[in-house]
A and B are shown apart, each in its own frame.
Chain A
Amino acid sequence: MISQNFKSLTIAARLVPLMAGAMAFAGGSLVLVGWAFDITVLKSIAHGWVSMKPNTAIGFILIGFAMLLFCSPSPFTFKIPGFICRIAHFCALLAGLIGLLSLIEYISGLDLGFDQWLFLEPAGAVGTSHPGRMAPDTAVCFILLAVGLEIIGLSHRLSRMLVVTGMLGALVTTMALVEILSYLTPFLRTAGWGGLTMMAFSTAVLFFMLGTGLMLLLWSKGSLEPVRDDNLRQKFRSPNGLGLVVTFLALASGITATGVSSFRNYERYYRAVVESQLSAIAELKTEELARWRKERLGDGHTLYNNPVFPSIVKRFFDNPEGADDRRSVHIWMKSLHSHLGYAQIALIDSRGAMRLSVPKGAAAIPYLVQDAADNLDLKHVSFLDFHRHTFDGPVHLGVMIPLFEDQDSSKPLGLLILNIDPESYLYPFIQKWPTASLSAETLLVRRNGNEVVFLNELRFQTNTALKLCVSMDRKELPAVMVAFGKTGIVQGLDYRGVPVLAALRTIPGSPWALVARQDIAEVFKPIHERLWITILLIAVLLNSAGAGIALLWRHQRVRFYREQADSAKMLQKSESLLAVAEQLGKAGGWEFDIETRLLKWSDMVYQIHELERTVQLTVEQGLLFYSQESRPIIAQAIQDAVEKGTPFDLELEIITVRGNHRQIHVIGIADIELRKVNGFCQDITERKQVESALKQSEATIRNRLKAIVEPDGDLWGLELSDIIDVEVLQSMLEDFYNLTGMLGAVLDIRGKVLVAVGWQDICTKFHRCHPITLSNCIQSDTSLTSGVPPGTFKAYRCKNNMWDMVTPLMVGGRHVGNVFIGQFFYDNEPLDRELFCKQAQRYGFDETAYLEALDRVPRFSREALESGMRFYVKLAEIISTLSFSTIQQSKMLVERKKAMEEIRQSKERFQIIFEQAPLGIGIIDSLSGKMYQVNAKYADIVGRTRKEMEAIDWMSITHPNDVQKDADHMARLNSGEIDGFQMDKRYLTPNGSVIWVNLSVARLQVEGISSRRHLAIIEDITERKLAEENILRLLAEAKASRQTLLSVVEDQKLAEEKIRKLNEELEQRVLERTTQLQGSNKELEAFSYSVSHDLRAPLRTIDGFSQALLEDYQEKPLDETGKDYLNRVSKAAQRMGILIDDMLTLSRITQAEIKKEDVDLSGMIRQIAQKYQEEDLGRFVELSIQEGVNVQGDPHLLSIAMNNLVQNAFKFTSREIHPRIEFGRSVKDGATVYFIQDNGAGFDMAYVKKLFNAFQRLHSSDEFPGTGIGLAIVQRIISRHGGHVDAAGEVEKGATFFFALP
């Protein structure tokens, strides 16, 4: 399961780089298509988004393809074929090169000319600094990916460089992630690094995938080297690289999310600060401007409402020459000029002529007169807005105050104009910015019809006051927005087209509006910085995380491989230990794979089979080592193990390569999951041998013991060595040898040497060393020695031509061994050296040594030998007697002990029976009638204690009515007339109640002699007696009541009987009729068949042979053949006559009516038999007819049937020498049957069913003539009588026909 999971994880891990590669490839291709057909969606996803450059697309195609190829290795070898590897390297390199060249372009500022080699991109495209050139970070990503892939392709799977690849992948992922995030932050969309081209959104997504893919590809390459050994794979799980990658991704998203959210927070806060600052500035300025304007109007109203000033002015106008008035007016005006800061003040009369001005002769005075001329009918104080008198003239504004003589006059005296120079206070105030800023400024605008007029001088453009007008259509401008009445913070483009953040205000009580604005670039410059710091921080953190995890992963892998190496070492160590153990235990392990059938053996198993280690076997080959008997057993065991998982443990025999038979102990256990069978195999040959030797010796000992101990023990099973004391005999013979120099030996009946003294070298060093001569020795010792009568001896030449003398050793009348004097020559006999030379040559003995040995053979005189031998004969007799009597004695002892034990046991058994029997048992003295000994039950039955019983005789407790009867029996028993008796009798208990018992008394016999004592056994039958009495009474009652009932029932019964009889008759008639019909049907069938077959045959014969006669004997006289032909014709005609007769008979029988009478069958048969006897005088048939067999039947039909049967019997006995026919009655299956039996040709019981069919014959007509209809007639007749026929017989042993009649 673990390995399954592991595998699926691996596949999942391999899927990611595969998908990344495929998507990069597809994405790049799509973008190229987009460029080719100018499809915005494909190029840059949406309008206003940065497009993916064609070079980038090509880079993706290459890098994607490379990654696909690196993923392509077959899943189980993890080896990339060479040419695929080269293509992948090439693609990766090319992509890296594109990136590198683009980066060089950026750094060096050169244009290498390949930016737009495929497609032209218009200048000024969104977020693009160099048309057609990929973003610098894109270029960097390509380089990183290419380097990463190259490292993967080139380095060893354990290389440290792979960690670098992991980090590169992490870096690419991080960069892509930052780019993706930057797309979600709107201000950052305008420019990439250092204002250079931005990475497209789609590019960023693809890089993210490729970076992740690179990391996982690394993992799948690095860690998934397949571990071949399943056990190892289970034991040591390879470090889980996928987990690490997932950890990294989680960590990376955590870091990124934290960074982004902190940045967004900061950004929001900063923005709020900036906005409030901007608003505050705008508010301040608006208030100030409103206040300033109000003050100016207030100045006007002060003069307008002053009652003194107009009167002075009037006086001045009326008397222009009056110096006082003029001076007074001048003082007023002067104080206004100097204290309130107006640039010029002019007094215009009602005709429009300027009468007085301060300062005198100022350049602007004429313009003031001009302004006044337009406003002579002014009734109230009014504000003169910004205006120029000439195109390039200065900008003015002012306050106009009409002067009235008194409150009611409608016509003003004149007009006082207070001219204000904006440069002096207003413009500087507007332009003033409270903080240091490079781009901030305030604008004052006024709507002028369909345009907006800028009222002040601008910071970035000169000569704008009242000259710069913009159309109200340009709504992105904050100035236009405010002209439309919008206030608050807005974002827009300013007059330069630069994005700005602006606060909009209208100045109350005036047509003016205020715009306080600052370049966004400046406002968010700190945010930018903050962003880059954040990104840098994220990148650093991600890389540290990536590096950390990569190191962790590497560490894990190193540990994993170290563990593997360690375990391999351990395994090696334990294997060597195992090898030692195997060697010691002569046992080894084996294993085979159920799928491949390949067999793995340990060294020891190879040794056990005596097979070279290098031989690789399959299971089936392995089975061939087993012996014939063992092979099916082990094959079955293995099959069961494979199919059902049953383990086995067997002791079997193998035949090794060298042909040695070995016993082995095989154990096998199937591991169905791993599809393997493991096992153990031990050489137990030695153990088995020891075991069997042990068993054998045990059997011998047991045998010996048995023979000695058991009275009927088998002496024949005893070895001679079991009977005699070999050691004593040996020393005796040694002494004898020392005395006489004669060799002595005792051998058992099979030729085994038990005692031997003084054996000659010729025998020990030559004859008994060669297999043939050895067998000669043994044969001589056994066969040549037989048949010597006990107490005598025999001298003979052995098969190796040495002389021996032998006398038999008998124990218990049985020949158990021989005593020898041997290996000598007679001193009066010449030595046939030539014979021994030949012998030496024949058996390849060293001739010289052999002859030397021959010379050493002793020579004795016959007398010496014979006296020596007589000694041996006596010795043999003594051994025989002593040994046998020892055995007998020990047997007797044992027997006695056994008998004692039996007696003890039988006594014990009797005691148990006596005490615990459910019957009363007692011993009675025959004379006194005293109860000697009674068991508890006896006392219990008669209601007394055992002690009381000892004091009384039986008569005193017997019911008076039974005493006499019992005493009579007892007397007969005592006199010896009977051996025992049994009777029911009554005892009287002490309390007077009567006890019925069944008493059995028998004379006790000890060793066949009668004693004075009797054994009495009593059974309490009181209850039975009572029950019997009850039953008798009940029976008597029942009898009486039955008598009364019977007379009632009798009448009814008679009626029923009548009906039953009628029914039976009816049934009988129906049955008869049916049988008759069936018979006639069958007959009809047979008849028609016969007409078509049997009747035609003679016709054919007649026709055929007459034809032949006509053909052959037209010209010549009849010869023998001709006569034969004629004969045949005539016979056929006769035969046809018989056939027709028979058939008529048969059909007549079928129709004939049956008249039943008494028929004397015996007489009928005798008559028929005599008739045939007379017809065939040449032959005597022995008849045996049972007399007085009478039946009921139709005499005519029965005589036809009997005729057929007897005729048959005569016919089929025609070949017998002593034919015999028997008729009689017997009982078969419980019913009376009649039979006719003969000892003729008989028939095979197989055809018994065909026997009675019409025209069916078992013999051809030249064997026994006939039509085949006789038995059919018999059957017909008998069945018409309602009986049946049957037959029994055997070929050549006669036949018996049975028939039964109702």
Chain B
Amino acid sequence: MLEKKILLVEDNPDDVALTIRAFKKNNILNPVVIAKNGVEALDYLFGKGRAEPLAVKDLPIIVLLDLKLPKIDGLEVLKKIRQNELTRLIPVIILTSSAEEKDKLAGYNLGANSYVRKPIDFSQFAEAINALGLYWLVWNEPPSVD
């Protein structure tokens, strides 16, 4: 479980730093792969310029996805993840500051597993990360992809 990667798609370096700090605080020690925009996230997952797609064992155990991203936005990324046979079962958690009902609905419609709003208060944010980690990394049993 520990070697499984977490894919964090976030363009704001501060939020990246805070999220990683929150992971550490909550003893979530999985390696975190950071994608700064939608294109990078998709490239990581589906391999642009890489001859072969990501091996099954290298797939992230969970994807934390910000919605508002440069170039390709989060919803688009989510759509691509769900469309691909390889990645469609990876749990995707939308982690965003947007409280718009529209975004939430779109997120769930496209198959997000969870939708977490980034709270302004950091302690709340840390708690949210903690809860996320507990649930998705400890309790949830992913389907066997093989």
Q: Do A and B come from one complex?
A: yes
Q: With a CB–CB cut-off of 8 A, which chain A residues contact B85?
A: none
On whether A1096 and B97 interact (CB within 8 A), knowing A1104-B125, A1260-B36, the answer reads yes
Find the A residue at minimum CB distance from B13. A1262
Chain A residues positioned under 8 Å from B13 (CB to CB): 1260-1262
A1258 lies within 8 A of chain B by Cβ: yes
Contact (Cβ within 8 A) A1103 B120: yes
A1108 at the binding interface (Cβ < 8 Å)? yes
Minimal beta-carbon separation of A368 from chain B (angstroms): 150
- In the docked arrangement, what's the CA distance between A812 and B2, Å? 81
B60 to chain A, nearest CB (A): 20
Size category of the binding interface on chain A:
20 to 34
Contact A1257 B70 (CB under 8 A): yes
What's the least CB distance linking B67 to chain A, in Å?
A: 8
Stretch of B15-23, B41-49, B50-58 with 4 or more beta carbons under 8 angstroms from chain A: B15-23
Chain A residues in 8 Å Cβ range of B120? 1096, 1099-1100, 1103
- Once A1093-B98, A1100-B15 are accepted as A-B contacts, the answer to whether A1107 and B70 lie under 8 Å apart by CB is no
Residues of chain B with a CB closer than 8 A to A332's CB: none
In the bound complex, residues from chain A placing their C-beta under 8 Å from that of B15 are 1097, 1100-1101
Map CB proximity to B onto A1071-1115 as digits: 1 under 8 Å, 0 otherwise.
000000000000000000100111011111101111110000000
Give the residues in chain A near B18, CB-CB below 8 Å. Answer: 1100-1101, 1104-1105, 1108
Interface 1/0s, chain A 1252-1268, versus B by CB < 8 A? 00011111111000000
Interface digits, B88-121 against A, CB 8 Å rule (1 contact, 0 not)? 0000000011111000000000000000001111
**Once the chains bind, are A1100 and B118 in contact (CB under 8 Å)?**
yes
- Specify which chain A residues have a CB less than 8 angstroms from the CB of B121 in the assembled complex: 1103
Q: Bound state CA distance, A1300 and B18, in angstroms?
A: 44
Most chain A beta carbons < 10 A, residue from B18, B122, B123, B125:
B122
Is there an interface contact between B12 and A1097, defined as CB atoms closer than 8 Å? yes
Q: Are A1259 and B14 in contact (CB under 8 A)?
A: no
Shortest Cβ gap from B125 to chain A (Å): 7
Within 8 Å by CB of B122, from A1093, A1103, A1257, A1261, lies: A1103
Known: A1089-B98, A1092-B98, A1132-B14. A1258 touches B70 (CB 8 A): yes
Tell whether A1128 is near chain B: CB-to-CB under 8 Å: yes
Q: Which of A1237-1262 contact B (CB under 8 A)?
A: 1244, 1247, 1250, 1255-1262
> Complex formed: what's the CA distance from A1089 to B14 in Å?
20
Q: For residues 1129 through 1185 of chain A, which have their beta carbon under 8 Å from a beta carbon of chain B?
A: 1132
Closest to B102 in A: A1089
Q: In the complex, which of the residues B14, B37, B100, B123 contacts A1101, with contact meaning CB atoms closer than 8 Å?
A: B14
Contact check, A1092 vs B100: say whether CB atoms are below 8 A apart: yes
| Cβ of A716 to closest chain B Cβ, rounded Å | 45
Contacts of A1098 in B (CB 8 A): 14
Task: Report chain B residues within 8 Å CB of A1244.
Answer: 71
Pair A1258/B12 contact, Cβ less than 8 Å: no
Binary contact track A665-689/B, C-beta < 8 Å → 1, others 0? 0000000000000000000000000
Contact B12–A1261 (Cβ < 8 Å):
yes
B37 to chain A: closest CB distance in Å? Answer: 6
B14 x A1097 contact (CB < 8 A)? yes
CA distance A1259 to B69 in the complex (A): 9
CB < 8 Å neighbour of A1093 from B14, B17, B96, B119 = B96
- Which residues does chain B contribute within 8 Å of A1107, judged by CB atoms? 122-123
In angstroms, how far is the closest chain A Cβ from the Cβ of B54? 22
Given contacts A1105-B18, A1108-B21, A1128-B17, contact A1100 B97 (CB under 8 A): yes
A1117 to chain B, nearest CB (A): 20
A1089 vs B98: C-alpha distance when bound (angstroms): 8
Contacts of A1093 in B (CB 8 A): 67-68, 96-98
Pairwise interchain contact A1097-B97, C-beta atoms closer than 8 A: yes
Min Cβ gap A1120→B in Å is: 14
Residue in chain A with minimal CB distance to B119: A1100
Nearest CB on A from B128, distance (A): 12
Taking a contact as CB atoms closer than 8 A, the residue among B14, B71, B96, B97 that contacts A1104 in the complex is B14
Complex interface: chain A residues within 8 A of B122 (CB): 1100, 1103-1108
Residues of B near A1259 (CB, < 8 A) are 70
Q: In angstroms, how far is the closest chain B Cβ from the Cβ of A776?
A: 45
For B125, the chain A residues whose CB sits under 8 A away are 1100, 1104
How far, in whole Å, are A1098 and B125 apart by their CA atoms in the complex? Answer: 14
B residues less than 8 Å from A1260 (CB atoms): 11-13, 36-37, 70
Question: Smallest CB–CB gap between A65 and chain B, Å?
Answer: 72
Rounded to whole Å, the gap between the CB of B75 and the closest CB of chain A is 13
- Nearest CB on B from A1155, distance (A): 36
Mark out the residues of chain A between 210 and 255 whose CB falls within 8 Å of any chain B CB in the assembled complex. Answer: none
Residues of A within 8 A of B118 (CB): 1096, 1100
Query: Measured between alpha carbons, how far is A298 from B72 in the docked complex, in Å?
Result: 160
Within the complex, the shortest CB–CB distance from A260 to chain B, in Å, comes to 94
Residue of B with least CB distance to A1128: B14
A1094: which B residues are within 8 A, CB to CB?
A: 68
Chain B neighbourhood of A1132, CB < 8 A? 14
A1107 CB to closest chain B CB (Å) equals 4
Cβ–Cβ < 8 Å partners of A1258 in chain B: 70-71
- Kindly provide the distance from the CB of A1189 to the nearest chain B CB, expressed in whole angstroms: 32
Most chain A CB within 10 A, of B98, B100, B119, B120, is at B120
Chain B residues within CB distance 8 Å of chain A: 11-15, 17-18, 21, 36-37, 67-68, 70-71, 96-100, 118-123, 125
A sample of 18 cross-chain residue pairs with beta-carbon separation below 8 angstroms, ordered by A number, consists of A1092-B97, A1092-B98, A1093-B67, A1093-B96, A1093-B97, A1093-B98, A1097-B12, A1099-B120, A1100-B18, A1100-B97, A1100-B119, A1101-B15, A1104-B125, A1105-B122, A1256-B70, A1258-B70, A1260-B70, A1261-B12
Known: A1250-B71, A1262-B13. 13 other contacts (CB 8 A): A1092-B100, A1093-B67, A1093-B98, A1097-B15, A1099-B120, A1100-B118, A1100-B122, A1101-B18, A1103-B122, A1107-B123, A1247-B71, A1259-B70, A1261-B12
